Copies of this chain bind each other. A is one copy, B any other.
Amino acid sequence: MSARPGSATPIYLDYAATSPVREEVVAEMLGCLGKDGAFANPSSTHALGRAAARIVAQAKVRIAARIGADPDGLVFTSGATEANNLALVGVLGASRARRHLVTTLIEHKSVLDCARALEAKGTEVTYVRCGPDGIVDPDALERAIRPDTALVSVMHVNNETGMIQPIAEIASRCRAREIPLHVDAAQAVGKIPVDLRALGVDLCSLTAHKVGGPKGVGALWIRPGISIEPMLHGGEQQRGLRPGTLPTHQIAGMGKAFELADPEVEGPHLADLRRRLRDALAEIDDVHVNGDFDRGAPHILNVAFPGVDGEALRFALRGLAVSAGSACMADSPEASHVLSTMGLSDAAALASIRFSFGPTTTADEIDTAARLIAEAVPRLRRLALGAPAWCRELRSGRATGPGGLR
């Protein structure tokens, strides 16, 4: 049984951290690497450079089609982390009079840490909480908007819980007040339909590696007319907004991955797997889905197993490749800021696991995972028999403000 602890290849249930690159995407990338391929610099004016530039243009069309947007608005970056930073720093930097940013407590670290850095340089930031279900209330968000608000930044799908945020409602409120809205759609693309035109979003962060594309490439889509400053300087690539030699193979791979990552095609399979795992885990006592199951994206199921230590649980489940919270804080012993904001106790937050699925995940893998969990959790709980209440309680009364984030 290849999924047993200690065996060589664990079952990969960490697609929200990153995904294997699809075969068709690899093929696309290979076409841009060797001497016979479109390896030249897309900014070069010679014939080989123009061939590379055409590939970049084609990728833009594919990416834009997946998000219902105009290809010209795309600025390629090294990923969503950079796109998020560019959106926040760039819009606040270009804004003279308005020095206030609204975001939420459940954003990815690349938004939260960037917001902190902006605070240190004089931007005022309001961090809106989410409910116990992990979802931000559009009314609460609207109340945070001030006359001097320069930007609102809210993620589309939360990377830890998978909860889908009410972007359409938030966007209409931002539009009514003429405040640009930035959406981090890193976890939404390919999982749920994303239509920036219909939603009325002004800036949108994207990344390739969550949808079977390569790591190290992403984009910020910017609606024409939005004022934004570059973060990196040098060269005229991408209208000076983001210089550096364009990585054709990465962009081509992102384009292909976005073309293939169709939520209409892949969503139902993911949703089946998610439901299957939820149903199997419901057989174990005292197991809780973090968030509102019915409002989650199809590829993420975050589950709390109160009464066990999180690290022990993950080690017991080393036959599964899963994350506690997000990969970018994988080595830290702190409880997830998202789960804490939702009101989970530290112990329960630490004892939560994010399971996430991809197009090649099978029902068999889910069943094996459920069996391993059904063995590990009761065993660890027996070992902790007699432990005090704090080891077992799911929720804390405590509220977490932005000060509690790090």
Contact A330 B44, beta carbon cutoff 8 Å: yes
Within 8 A of B (CB), among A235-252: 235-237, 243-250
Check if A285 is an interface residue, CB within 8 A of chain B.
no
Known A33-B214, A110-B243, A249-B214; judge A49-B235 contact (CB<8 A). Answer: no
Question: Closest approach, in angstroms, between the C-beta of A369 and any C-beta of chain B?
Answer: 13
Copies of this chain present in the complex amount to 2
* Interface membership of A329, Cβ < 8 A: yes
Residues of chain B within 8 A (CB-CB) of A78 are: 77-78, 82, 216, 244, 247
- From A40, A80, A332, name the one whose CB has the most chain B CB atoms within 10 angstroms: A40
Which of these binds chain B: A10-18, A96-104, A268-276, A335-343?
A10-18
Whether A245 and B322, one on each chain, are in contact in the complex, defined by CB atoms closer than 8 angstroms, is no
Who on chain B is nearest to A240 by CB? B113
A331 touches B43 (CB 8 A): yes
Interchain CB contact under 8 A, B43 and A328: yes
Residues of B near A23 (CB, < 8 A) are 34
Kindly list chain B residues whose C-beta atoms are within 8 Å of the C-beta of A318: 46-47
The 8 Å CB contact of A245, one of B18, B21, B232, B249, is B18
A81-B243, A116-B233, A234-B328 known; A33-B26 Cβ under 8 A: yes
| Contact in complex: A46, B10 (CB < 8 Å) | yes
A231 in the interface (beta carbon within 8 A) = yes
Interface presence of A378 (CB below 8 A): no
Q: Is the CB of A234 within 8 A of B113?
A: yes
Interface size on A, residues (CB 8 A): 78
What residue in chain B is nearest A360 (Cβ atoms)?
B35
Closest to A232 in B: B85
Let me know if A391 is at the binding interface, CB within 8 A: no
A93→B29 CA distance, assembly (Å): 37
CB distance from A29 to the nearest CB of B (A): 8
- Given contacts A49-B321, A233-B110, whether A243 and B328 have CB atoms under 8 Å apart is yes
Chain B residue contacts of A246, Cβ below 8 A: 215-216
A45 touches B330 (CB 8 A): yes
The chain A residues found within 8 Å of chain B, CB to CB, are 9-10, 12, 14, 17-21, 23, 26, 29-30, 33-35, 37, 39-41, 43-49, 77-82, 84-85, 108-114, 116-117, 207, 209, 214-217, 231-237, 243-250, 314, 318, 320-323, 327-332, 360
16 further A-B pairs in the complex, CB-CB below 8 A; given A21-B33, A216-B246: A14-B46, A14-B48, A17-B41, A20-B39, A21-B249, A23-B34, A41-B330, A45-B314, A78-B216, A78-B244, A114-B232, A209-B245, A215-B245, A216-B217, A231-B231, A250-B250
Interface pairs (12), CB distance under 8 Å: A20-B35, A41-B215, A49-B327, A84-B234, A85-B231, A214-B247, A215-B246, A216-B217, A216-B244, A216-B245, A216-B249, A234-B328
